[in-house]
Amino acid sequence: MPSARATSLAAKADDRLAEVLRRADAAPDWDLGVAYHDRRVADVLAHLHAWHLVFDGWVAQDRAGSVPAYPAEGFTWDRLDDLNDVFYRSHRERPYDAIRTMLVTSHARMLRLLTTFGEAELTDPQRYPWLNGQSLGDVADECLGEHYEWALKTFDAAGMA
């Protein structure tokens, strides 16, 4: 049985993702203009997917006994824009439908992964020192529900209904 924190994270993430996909599916070719670096709706979905993969990598490295590169090998939080640009370049040629499928798949994988953690593993900010005082559940929320909120705000800023 999933922990209460995992259940809460999943419910929030499912709710927000449904809204992201509803709006994205209604305007998949929308140009986001300055709201998101003159990129496409598909690029927002690819960004969300890429951060799911990053989270999965952190967990895999931790479970293998390594200290994960946080946020990623060769990057610091001060260089987050550079990391996000790497994600953009790796997916910019993919069509909307492919990226949408990738996002839905990585979302489901993240939710399954969360069920493998107990309550303390998701809520104790000291449990994973490489997270610098954040709980794993809070970081998961940043990669799921809160990130979907960012996508919705980006759509709003671009005038997408």
Compute the distance between CA of residue 152 and CA of residue 105 in angstroms, rounded to an integer: 19
- pLDDT classification of 48: cutoffs 50, 70, 90: very high
Residue 161 pLDDT class (50, 70, 90 cuts): confident
pLDDT for 109: 98
Q: How confident is the model at residue 1 (pLDDT cuts 50, 70, 90)?
A: confident
User: What is the mean predicted confidence (pLDDT) over 130-145?
Assistant: 98
Q: Evaluate if pTM is beyond 0.85.
A: yes
Rounded-to-integer distance, Cα 89 and Cα 84, Å: 9
